Structure 1
Amino acid sequence: MKRLRVFVFVFLVAALPSVALAQQLTVSAAASLTDAFNEVGAKFEAAHPDVTVRFNFAASGVLLQQIRQGAPVDVFASADEQTVTRGIEAGLFDASTRRDFATNALVLIVPAAQGSPVKRVTDLVNPAVRRIAIGKTSTVPVGRYTQQALEKALLWDALAPKFAQADSVRQVLDYVSRGEAEAGFVYRTDAVLMPGKVEIVQAVGGHDPVTYPVVTVSASREPALAKAFVDYLMSPAAQEVLRRYGFSQS
């Protein structure tokens, strides 16, 4: 028994150096990046065997609030420029590392196979349309793009009583896919994840370009690794993954 205890002790001590070398990278990213980033993260880990990438997905504004409150994050990827700019102005991000790595498109969706009367944005005034799912404009970038587009079309005030505000673009998608809203505004990359459940009826213009910036967090405990992840997003391997999920190159 004594010899067994010595063996276990030696084994544990021998294992300590490899544990000490392990690095963890925490990336907070917009909800619309969930599927693509899970694959990108796996590829990054394969290229960096001693690194584990942990993702936190939510609305960009919510993630900024978490970082502002001290959440231990190394990299931030947003679905809009405005949120990153606010973080830089607050001293939360390293502006020198900021990169635009992808673009997207805003689309109007309806539940599939339900004979929707909505074929374009102007049809949303139809009384048969009772609920329109949109992202919360205070924290969800897709909500702000939606507001810009509807204000450009002179429909924002008229449609406001119908809005069902969601905490993320994925929640908007869920509302429409389950038929809890007759229409909604999401990114094209989200809409294509649910064929047979939602249908894209129109690509929507009249808003700022949907651009995805990434930046390192000033308080990162792994600044070199964080910068390496930002650089990796611009690589052909990462860009190929993003293209497969429907994103365009910035």
Structure 2
Amino acid sequence: MRKLILIFISFMFSYASEIYVAAAANTTYAMPEIIKKFNQKYPDVKVNVILASSGKLTAQIMHGAEYDVFMSANMKYPEFLYKKGIAKSKPKIYAKGAIALFSIKNIKLDNFKKALLNAKSIAIANPKTAPYGRAAVEAMKNAGIYGNVKNRLIFAETVSAVIPYTVNSADIGIVAKSSLFSPKMKKYKNFADVPKSLYKPINQGIIMLNNKKDTVKFYNYIFSDDAKEVFKKYGYIF
């Protein structure tokens, strides 16, 4: 199964052991720093991160993917795996994610409703598999504009893929706020928070899929002050 995985984040030096972490795509930019700091404390553990939508990762786990830790973009999927007896720890919130509007065009984004109503195309993550996509749809529905804009939506497989969609074609993207803190995004200045009153907090959940020593080390580290500071740096809330 691992041979089918497309994206790995790893560090090229000698390790005594390794673990595989299945992580929601919204963590793309924070995870390299998380792993770097983890390896400062545990230099003998190689961490391989597989990034995809939470729904896709859950399906892979259900079909036997040998991951050690699952970091989901919401609590739904970890809770499902826990009820199925696959998770070895009870689902726990490790951070809360937020969504934001982003555009490379000269479009005012300070008014969520007005900005989307005036946009010809809007990129969001696929709401069928990506919690950030569902949050985007929820915000549009609560703003009373979903019916007006649903035919203008462009769906990306993951929330991290919304960025290139927006850069290359869509007028506006509804992205994970964490993506705005990527070094690659510094050249772009046009973004705005989506009002938190329009969607439920995105409680991101983590579970262990086995009780290996290094699995436990990484799981516990995610709740450390060091890891929390990294998540805050990338726009997550607690």
TM-score range, shorter chain: 0.7 to 0.9
Amino acid corresponding to residue 204 of structure 1 in structure 2: P
Report the alpha carbon displacement of residue 245 of structure 1 after superposing the two structures with TM.
2.1
> What fraction of aligned residue pairs are identical, expressed as a percent?
27
Structure 2 residues without counterparts, runs of 5 or longer: 1-13
* CA RMSD between the two structures: 2.0
Q: Residue in 1 aligned with 2:106?
A: 115
Q: What is the SS of the residue equivalent to 2:191?
A: strand
Q: Residue in 2 aligned with 1:8?
A: none
Amino acid corresponding to residue 159 of structure 1 in structure 2: V
- TM-score scaled to structure 2, two decimals? 0.85
**Distance change in 2, residues 1:119/1:247 (3 Å):** closer
Q: Does 1:184 align with 2:177?
A: no
Q: Does 1:54 align with 2:45?
A: no
Amino acid corresponding to residue 37 of structure 1 in structure 2: M
Amino acid corresponding to residue 50 of structure 1 in structure 2: D
More deviation in 197-206 or 225-234?
Answer: 197-206
Q: Does 1:85 align with 2:79?
A: yes
Once the two structures are superposed, the pairs formed by residues 155-174 of structure 1 within 5 Å of their partners are 155-174=145-164
Q: Residue in 2 aligned with 1:240?
A: 229
**Which one has a bigger Cα radius of gyration?**
1
Q: Residue in 2 aligned with 1:197?
A: 188
Q: Is contact 2:160–2:176 with CA below 8 Å preserved after alignment?
A: no
**d(CA) in 1 for partners of 2:30, 2:100:** 19
Deviations 1:134-155, CA, capped at 9 Å, x for gaps: 1111111111101111111222
More deviation in 78-87 or 133-142?
Answer: 78-87
Report the alpha carbon displacement of residue 118 of structure 1 after superposing the two structures with TM.
4.7
Report the alpha carbon displacement of residue 93 of structure 1 after superposing the two structures with TM.
1.4
Specify which of 209, 212, 229 is matched with residue 218 of structure 2. 229
Q: Residue in 2 aligned with 1:36?
A: 30
Q: Residue in 2 aligned with 1:103?
A: 96
Return the structure number with greater helix share. Answer: 1
- TM-score scaled to structure 1, two decimals? 0.81
**d(CA) in 2 for partners of 1:236, 1:161:** 43
**d(CA) in 2 for partners of 1:184, 1:90:** 35
**Distance change in 2, residues 1:177/1:224 (3 Å):** same
Amino acid corresponding to residue 231 of structure 2 in structure 1: L
More deviation in 229-238 or 115-124?
Answer: 115-124
More deviation in 199-208 or 148-157?
Answer: 199-208
Deviations 1:144-172, CA, capped at 9 Å, x for gaps: 10111111122222211101000111111
Q: Residue in 2 aligned with 1:23?
A: 17
